[in-house]
Amino acid sequence: MEGKIALVTGAAGGIGEAIVRALASRDVRVVAVDRDADRLRKVAKAVEEDTGGRVEPFPADVTASADVEALVDDVETLVGPLDFLVNAAGVLRLAEARKLTDQEWSTTFAVNTTGVFFVSRAVVNRMVPRRRGAIVTIASNAAGTARTEMSAYAASKAAATMFTKCLGLEVAKFGIRANLVAPGSTDTPMLNSMWQDESSARASIDGVPDAYRVGIPLGKLARPEDVAEAVVFLLSDKASHITMHDLTVDGGAALGV
């Protein structure tokens, strides 16, 4: 992977930052994208200092089509042709389906689904003439397992999952692979935002019968690094014959389904 160029969205978030760090430590030049410009620059600087790698911060909003096209144009001109794409930008809005607001629903899909479409389209259209490239979209085990108060999130991730698989089918003839990593409960600010008190972390592991959650068989939360390592594997030549695959990283929480 040394010398390759990767674009990672959601790079200022917990899993996104871990992916940036994992790639930079392998001498991949990382284009880090997030709408939180201040946090993004801090992440880029910290990762460079810690790994000795190269991280280029490019603040952008993945929900704006024209901005995404301009971003990818700038990246390919200023940094170089992209070899990898990781769609890690995501938001979570919790509410029962019947109580979701229009804004909560539209925001969730704008980032988690439409953003994946905009960025993937822009990057893949540049990969196709080169007949190479690898894409990983961060989905969720919720895409295939019903969760209370997570209908918008689960539906958006299910849509992103099938989009990525269909994309992978279409671009396989160009030597481009498209896979997914589906995390479960991962120790990130997104998960922490769901917690009510100190007992919430334990409940994530042990399960919540009233919410039909069975817990995590391995008895621990995932670390962002666990997800990042799965992403690195799917991008690497070690996964050269893997495409349209959904790799679940949830400690068994979805019971292997």
87 domain residue, yes or no:
yes
- The confidence band for 189, taking pLDDT boundaries of 50, 70 and 90, is confident
Provide the whole-model pTM.
Answer: 0.96
154 domain residue, yes or no:
yes
pLDDT tens track for 135-179: 999 999 999 999 999 999 999 999 999 999 999 999 999 999 999
Give the residue-averaged pLDDT of 92-103. Answer: 97
> In sequence order, what are the residues at sequence separation of 6 or more whose Cβ sits closer than 8 angstroms to the Cβ of residue 103?
none
128 domain residue, yes or no:
yes
Q: Under DSSP, is residue 257 helix (H, G, I), strand (E, B) or coil?
A: coil
CA angle 252, 256, 257 (to 5 degrees): 130
Give the residue-averaged pLDDT of 52-66. Answer: 98
Q: What is the DSSP letter of 244?
A: S
Q: What is the reported pLDDT for 197?
A: 67
CB atoms within 10 A of CB 129: 9
- The confidence band for 202, taking pLDDT boundaries of 50, 70 and 90, is confident
pLDDT mean across residues, the chain: 96
Q: What is the reported pLDDT for 196?
A: 66
Output the domain CATH number for residue 26: 3.40.50.720
Give the residue-averaged pLDDT of 236-250. Answer: 98
Q: What is the reported pLDDT for 92?
A: 96
257 domain residue, yes or no:
no
pLDDT at 201 > cutoff 80: no
254 domain residue, yes or no:
no
196 domain residue, yes or no:
yes
Q: What's the number of domains the chain is made of?
A: 1
Active-site annotation, residues: 153
256 domain residue, yes or no:
no
255 domain residue, yes or no:
no
Q: What is the reported pLDDT for 194?
A: 67
User: Domain residues for 23?
Assistant: 5-249
In terms of DSSP H, where are the helices of the chain? Answer: 14-24, 37-51, 65-78, 102-109, 115-127, 151-171, 189-192, 199-206, 224-235
Please report, as a single letter, which amino acid is at residue 127: M
Q: What is the reported pLDDT for 192?
A: 72
